[in-house]
Amino acid sequence: MCGKSDSDDQKYLFLSLLIKSGYHVYCQIEAEAHELEYYYFNITDYYKAYILAKAFKKYINFDEQLSRQELYDMFILAVSSGYFKEVSKVKKLYNDVIRFGRSLIADSSVQGTIFRAQSEIINIDYWELNLIGLSNTIEETIIQIPTISNNSPEDLICAYLNLINRKMVLQLILGNYELAEETFKNNYLINEQLSRLDYIGHLYMDYSKGFYHCDLIKALEYMQKAQEIFETLGTEHRRLLDCNCELAYLKCLKDHTQNLEELELASNLLYHSQFIELYSKAKLKLAALKMVRGGYSKEEIRHDIYISKYVLSFSFTGRLALLYKMIKNAYLIYSNKANQIEELTTEEKKKLNQMGNDYQSVWTHNTKGLKNNITFFNDHAMSNVYILDTRIW
């Protein structure tokens, strides 16, 4: 196993430079570099895995049939780039994995990689709010997967568990809460039968996100359960950092006197681990809390919102575009510029109309009349109050 000491923390950069330096050197260090790539990928330290996978890509001949290892380098590149590259490029990588993988289908483990890539494309469609027909796509893909057991290939298990998780979060975003609760319970049993504590942690975390706006105590409880699991496992680097940020945010929602320092620290840790999109959302959380609490300077809040947008190398799309516009409009009210609020584009309206009624009701309320105050989701908000949906993730 690759070392984990601080002195080895930059080894991935050194090896990636050696890989790029020439084929002769590459052949000498290839085995060691792949071991390190797989190690970082398995603990979801994705930026380091990305750097190595990107270096390996130099030696892949796409005019020939890919080897199993080359295909997996491409898969790692796709997964790891999903947190700091634009969606269209990430989706293309997954489609390449599927296309090249089909020529290796005789290898049973490749079948799992193909299904896992398909599950990730479904996940992209979820975040991009391409929700029409997505439930059918999930069900059709689940049916195609062979019966899962503890002896199934790892990627096949992951694909299946990803899909049933996406089934649940899709039900949540559509507002089908009773159905989502039933799916949560079924998913828990499946994860338990497969002895997948990691996916039980995913389940608690993703289910929790679905009801920040209506049951904050339960959301906090489930997020804490997820955090405990990720801390126990020590293999969920990305999930733990994200979970810590969400938990700090939930504490601030629950207690208006809660210091923002924990959330600031959690957001900075996301940034330093190169989870740039998650960091962007964390800055939006901070801006929202400051505006609702009041007493913060316009410059400080504007800085949070500015960073959230320009820290990314691509434009906001899908869910993130709606979140950004919601926060930016709130800032205009906070700055006494309510007359400058931006309306949703035609495309954004189409996306919103696919979501559940409680998502739509926030925007419906906010477009009626001038607002001079800001609050978080409230069914009884006055007509002059601008509502922020607490589900800023």
Backbone angles phi, psi at 217, to 5 degrees: -65, -45
Number of domains into which the chain is organized: 2
Q: Quick one: tokens of 305? A: 């919102």
Query: Whole-prediction pTM value?
Result: 0.94
Report yes or no: 253 and 274 within 8 Å, Cβ to Cβ.
no
**Around 252, how many Cα atoms within 13 Å sit in the side-chain half-sphere?**
25
Task: Report the candidate in 253, 251, 254, 313 with the shortest Cα–Cα distance to residue 279.
Answer: 313
191 within domain boundaries: no
Query: Does an H or E element contain 110, and which?
Result: helix 108-127
Residue ranges of the chain whose pLDDT lies below 50: 1-3
Residues 218, 11: Cα–Cα separation, whole Å: 42
Decide if 385 is inside a domain.
yes
Cα–Cα dist 276/282, whole Å: 10
Residues 6 or more apart whose CB falls under 8 angstroms from that of 254 comprise 216, 217, 220
| Predicted pLDDT at 393 | 94
Within-domain flag for 169: no
Domain assignment of residue 355, yes or no: yes
Burial of 346 (0-12, 13-18, 19+ CB in 10 A): exposed
Per-residue confidence (pLDDT) for residue 4, from 0 to 100: 52
Per-residue pLDDT at 380: 67
User: Residue 129: inside a domain, yes or no?
Assistant: no
* Domain interval for residue 23: 1-82
Looking at 64, 82, 100, which one is the last position of a domain? Answer: 82
* 38 within domain boundaries: yes
Q: Write down which residue in 66, 82, 98 finishes a domain.
A: 82
Choosing from 82, 104, 133, the residue where a domain stops is: 82
Within a domain: residue 384? yes
In 3D space, the residue among 115, 121, 123, 193 whose CA is nearest the CA of residue 154 turns out to be 115
Identify whether 254 is part of a domain. no
Q: Give the model's pLDDT for residue 26.
A: 93
Burial 256-295 (b: 16+ CB within 10 A, else e): eebebebbbebbebbbebbbbbbbbbbbbbbbbbbbbeee
Q: What is the pLDDT of residue 109?
A: 82
E strands, the chain, in order? 373-376, 385-388
Cα distances (Å, whole numbers) of residue 359 to 9, 174, 177, 254, 346: 42, 9, 13, 21, 17
- Say if residues 323 and 284 touch (Cβ distance below 8 Å): yes
Q: How far apart are CA 322 and CA 261, in angstroms?
A: 26
CA distances from 380 to 27, 93, 322, 386 (A): 66, 46, 22, 12
